[in-house]
Amino acid sequence: MEETSTEKYYKIEGGILMKKLCALVLFLSLVLVGSVSLATSTIDLSYFRENSNLYSIDVNNDSEVAFITTTLNAASRCFHHDNEHDQYYSTFESDILVHDYFSSEPYGVMRIWINYFAKDFLNINSVTFQIGGKDYTFTGCCENDWKVKLDNGGVEEQALIIASDSNWDFWSALIDILDPLLENGLDDFTPIPVILHGSRDVTITMDAGAAVDFASIVIGAGSSGVKSADAGTGTKLTVTDSK
């Protein structure tokens, strides 16, 4: 059977991920106990440039920012739902937004985009990730101008989760589930339930491809230095026990 793009990517990235895992665990433990401040880090872009087969850097010259993504395609990061668009994949996409790209001290912020393509609007107003018996619910993560009618029919909506000091519990929980993926491979990964709340609730899953995408961005962030967003991003996290 021919390998999927996720499997091919994982074979390359998996070796790097395993080598970086110990460093990542140390980095995260220092962050969580407060020994390292995410808010004061300058990002070192050399790691991404040296691994250009795994990462892409898209620079916006006008706004002096850059977007670091993995080279995984949309099909590898997609999720399915009951109102799918017939031409576009709905996807998770993890990235790092680099501010002050041309300065001597650029800084990066980790993010997760949820790109929802469908036949009709869901009017997403909040998103819940179900991890380890907890519900991590984000409100204020959707903007009205991120809801667009497409010229060829159907709609697109987006939600954005930005790493910040106030929601680091979520990022820590999501990072914790990477261990089986890194140690045992794609087949051992248990998809993460995610609920899109809007005019109705739609349950989707973050599958192995999207998890590899996220793991790669986290490894890059841990290898390069990151910065949390300002606390006042407008997004609020509520953590409750899963029902």
Average pLDDT, the chain: 82
Range of the domain at 51: 5-241
Mean pLDDT of 20-42: 46
Q: Please report, rounded to a whole number, the percentage of residues in the chain having pLDDT higher than 70.
A: 78
Count of structural domains, the chain: 1
d(CA 111, CA 138): 13
Q: Which comes out higher in pLDDT, residue 155 or 107?
A: 155
Structure confidence at residue 69 (pLDDT): 95
Of 116, 101, 27, the residue nearest 64 (C-alpha)? 101
181, 187, 192, 196: CA torsion to nearest 10: 130
Structure confidence at residue 109 (pLDDT): 87
